[in-house]
Amino acid sequence: DGWRGIIAEDFTFDNVRACAQGVASYLKQTGLASRGLIVGYDTRFASEDFASAAAEVVAGNGIKVYLCPKATPTPVISYGILAKQAGGAIIITASHNPATWNGFKVKSEHGSSAPTDAITKIEKHISHTLTTGEINKVPLTQALKQGLVEYLDLAPIYSQQVAKLIDLKELRQARLKIV
């Protein structure tokens, strides 16, 4: 559901921007752009900076970005897509890969991995972007002022949903030892 590479070799800011442009073009083509896009990241080296670069490109295409203000787990972002009714998400993470790697995941409007047909279309947009070099972007500070980017902490809404599904009081009373 995305692309992974070694940081500073093939996982670069230019390549992240090209991928973000591909996602933005896909969202505009499919009519999902009006729903906005969540951009999140993990704790790897420079993930926050790569996420900001992706957000600048998506915002540069006139698409509202909900940018996570801190490292956020993938399941929280997936739930956030549903809660915000967003058009999907970009997550900067390399999952289980070594620390020298990072990655660019695309989540669908359903919170799941983007389906194969969507990835194929996004890849075509990325190829076009790499050929033409055309990337729309707006500096993050400007996008924040214009309301194109909004910081959104998804952890509280995720925690509220989990609390609705699980009897936390009963769990606490069970005094389970978790190792």
Positions annotated as catalytic residues are 95
Query: Taking the CA atoms of the chain, what radius of gyration do you get in angstroms?
Result: 17
DSSP label at 87? S
End-to-end, the C-alpha distance of the chain in Å comes to: 31
Give the separation between CA 8 and CA 102, rounded to whole angstroms. 10
Tallying the residues shown for the chain, one arrives at: 179
- In the chain the beta strands, taken as DSSP E runs, fall at 2-6, 37-41, 65-67, 89-92, 101-107, 149-151
In what order do the strands lie in the sheet containing 149-151? 2-6, 101-107, 89-92, 37-41, 65-67, 149-151
